[in-house]
Amino acid sequence: MVFTSPVERAMPNRLADERDALTQQLDFHRATLLRKLEGLDGELLRRPMTASGLSLLGLVKHLAVTEHGWFLKIYGGLPEPDLFSTDTDPDAEFRVGPDETADALVGQYLRTCERARAVVAAGGLDDVVTTPWGAEVNLRAILVHMVQETARHNGHADIIREAIDGTTGH
């Protein structure tokens, strides 16, 4: 089955206040990631396209883990297990297992983003939390980090998608 993104990508309001600018940019980049998957079937979505084995679905899986870690566990303080077992391989969150489907991974990403939106909406940009490694960080910095993290991986997705079928832009 060919993937169709379940979300619409909205252009951020260029006159938004700080909170809305950050959250709208993040939502724009979240939706952009899923647009990179448009029109591809499961085999192409999971196809390793780099020497390290990176795939489009691997990027989705990694960003679900990253959203979960930063927004729900670190900022929200929710005592939750990791989304995916990483065993002893620190890069396991980038790899798609044989039993992991596009529907399941994209669904997990969407659910995690929705939960992250709720946590962010309830917080203040100046709220400070301490990371597991002892650094203090506020919600503003976490949002900035997640915008750049998602945008950076969209660049990887651009290159992977072009290598798969020549599609650019999106």
Report angle CA 154, 67, 107 to the nearest 5 degrees: 80
Query: Mean pLDDT in each 10-residue stretch from start to end of the chain (170 residues)?
Result: 94 98 98 98 96 96 98 97 79 90 97 98 98 97 98 97 92
Q: What is the pLDDT of residue 15?
A: 98
CB 144 within 8 A of CB 125: no
d(CA 50, CA 59): 12
Q: What is the pLDDT of residue 19?
A: 98
Q: What is the pLDDT of residue 77?
A: 97
Q: What is the pLDDT of residue 60?
A: 98
Q: What is the pLDDT of residue 86?
A: 66
Q: What is the pLDDT of residue 169?
A: 81
Q: What is the pLDDT of residue 100?
A: 94
3-state helix, strand, coil in the chain (%, to 5): 55, 5, 40
Q: What is the pLDDT of residue 87?
A: 67
d(CA 154, CA 115): 21
pLDDT tens digit sequence for 81-111 = 988 876 677 788 999 999 999 999 999 999 9
Q: What is the pLDDT of residue 46?
A: 96
CA atoms within 13 A on the CB side of 77: 6
d(CA 69, CA 50): 25
Q: What is the pLDDT of residue 91?
A: 82
Global pTM value: 0.95
